[in-house]
Amino acid sequence: MTGTVSVQNSSRRLSQPLQVRYCADFWNKFRGLMLQDNIGLNGGALLVEDKDSRMNASIHMLFMRFDIAAIWINSDNQVVDVQVARRWRLAYLPVQPARYILEAHVSQADNFHVGDQITFTHD
């Protein structure tokens, strides 16, 4: 599946759901937000893995032009880690296994906390 996904934090309502690009195949996940000039406050990408993992859920920030909020979410749609990922850093891994990596505007980092329940709606 490709397209756009609406992301809402069920534990602490966002003023507006995030509208992010759904990235489930290798090339879309590899690219993520790399080489983009910027993203909107409610934009980003949702990288989807086959199962929960720490290693497969790692991200790199090489060739990134801006910092992002990296929100890792497990198969139960629960946030397991939130980090501000700085551009040009080699790697970030979640502290717990995750299936989904939400890459969002850096300002979104404060809107997600470990334990929050997340809802995805395919547009």
pLDDT for residue 26: 78
What pLDDT digit, counting tens, does each position of 7-38 carry?
999 999 898 999 999 988 877 776 767 667 88
pLDDT for residue 34: 65
pLDDT for residue 115: 98
pLDDT for residue 10: 96
Give whole-number Cα distances, 34 to 52, 92, 113, 115, in Å. Answer: 23, 15, 25, 28
The per-residue pLDDT of the chain, averaged, comes to 92
pLDDT for residue 50: 96
Residue ranges in the chain whose pLDDT is less than 50: none
pLDDT for residue 30: 67
The pair phi, psi for residue 24, each rounded to 5°, is -115, -20
Number of other CB atoms surrounding residue 35 within 10 Å: 9
Number of other CB atoms surrounding residue 88 within 10 Å: 11
Set out the domains of the chain in order of their start, with CATH numbers: 4-122 (2.60.120.1140)
